[in-house]
Structure 1
């Protein structure tokens, strides 16, 4: 039986569900060709726009891919890129995106002192001490806008739940391009449609955000500081320009993932204007207290906060109060705060030093904020990555972070802050030699 004859439905959702069912039964396999839009529309008796909407849903969920004249096919399943994970083998991994464990505060003393009265069902979901500290922390940047606090199991959990309470499948979400891996996965797995917004050294571009809003995005996910992978931070001027664009769309949900917060060397500038109605500022603790500390504080408008609480209630309900108390103990401990301050200086100094080393081998990159460096190359990064493997290095290419901009694939994201001076010198030298060798091969071709 032809694929066309097995797909049915009168709406985009029904057609998409029909294709999903074929995939689940293995009646469609990776690489299989789906019918052209016109052919399928004529066969099942619907408008072509309905089939196009169904294909958008499936593409947004990462199940199919459209390649122009090459047709629409079921995606080939390959390992999903993850932050901090690689098949290391004997290679030195400089693409992890991890914080330096030497600068994560030791929780031993706090662990022994934090136990107290057991928490029972029906009690406040935010531990009172953390609520007081977090409220003061967030209020400085949320300002006088009405808001409420929520605690989630990390920033990714927060963004996923915030989007789920506001959107339905096939809704459009504006994402930075290039984009943080977890944001790409969250949008695709949620069945939403990612609309890329280019970024430059000052953050999201004004024209890019305006174009995304014209496409009907219902949510914007933005990293105001230390954008991953580029390290860009919103400037005051750019933030003001973006707020002016968003002023005409007060009910578009703005999610600001300020993941680097206490470690950032840049001031916080918000996209959220004084009259904006739907917003959420998310700050996790994983970058300065360690990835295993899965906790984020969310300050959002009361409507979003109420719906977010409903999203939490049938599942985890609350984040462990033991974890909340541990976080509070660390962020209010003088020694731990000194370690966090030292970590911030360490990342800034080590990244700046490596950026300077690159100039001596004929490469350059912006000295930006964050755990990583975003290194532009004169040739595709995949070619450089292959050469670096031969020299004993595992690097991360820009291909993994791309939404639409092909220039992203001509970049490396490097995590170098934990390298010794000698290893950093060797990495820079090997990178320069690899680029020169690959460029010479291209020239000879």
Structure 2
């Protein structure tokens, strides 16, 4: 009996364990942290062997195959030992894809992938049976086991792509590439770019790559390292013959000489970046033969993603906006760009080697006060201290919101858009966003 060891007992780990057991592996789940109670119960109920708060190295090294959680860096000693022994290490995406013949849409990028994946799924589910998985929702492996949809939309991070071998989406989307997570890539942007492009490395000319043609990083990489796939770019700056572009506030999409036109005024989501997300999602839907009318209606009624420029409440004519999912500078760039009123900006957290320069024009133009919410705010204070009249720091969300309430005048925005990871003060960006919303509701 082949042995599958799963490192990490979270959503993707437990999903992989269940699928592995069903496919005849003897499975062992090992987590250096604590496995959440709900996942422990699933493992116990399915008689899958597990351990937490430790790794029994000898037992792990008996594996024929290891699935490691995307949160575990390659540099970890244990992972090095596993690789030295010649044991294959795969991601959940790779493992699950071995057991499905579904049509897969894979979406990656530094920003916009959750919104694009959710929007794509929203359009497709009007006419197709389709699952949504990857970095979002229920585990892909678990869905392959329990629901076995004929189609999947997968939101895929670079960490998940680092451990693929044969994984190949029929349609791949790269929303954009900007510096992020460089701490995991030896601080070399080039390594991170290559990691994102792995989404297309096994594609053939029968497959499609949809990408942002305004993103120089992507365009230059394609020139240097061409892919096999059929290219369908999208742009809001230039005319595109095959793909999507913006013409007088209309999205014009051309695939195989068929055209689709959508006025951007009717899009439910606001902001330039969401025009691009809509272009990517429409291109996917078009390739999968969704009716034009369905695509239009879906783009008009899509509600957006929690923690992504989410309007929470209006109090005393001040709009409170939760953008906790902005865990890097480029995401915050889009948030500040879309502000149309003086803004009190709550920022901070774990800095991943950020450069804040691209935000300067917006901060000068739109930001009236900055509230730094992090354990170490020195860099933020040094960077923005001279640009705004008010800059304060706190380590409590409730306090940050109370300060914002005092500073904001009628007609202003209060924006939580941290540009950083959340792990210094919060469990994750969802926890940070929920605390913000609760604090606003308690004002």
Q: How does the TM-score come out when normalised to structure 2?
A: 0.29
Larger radius of gyration between Structure 1 and Structure 2? 1
Structure with greater proportional helix content: 1
Q: How does the TM-score come out when normalised to structure 1?
A: 0.29
> RCO (CA 8 Å, sep 6+): is it higher in 1 or 2?
1
Structure with greater proportional strand content: 2
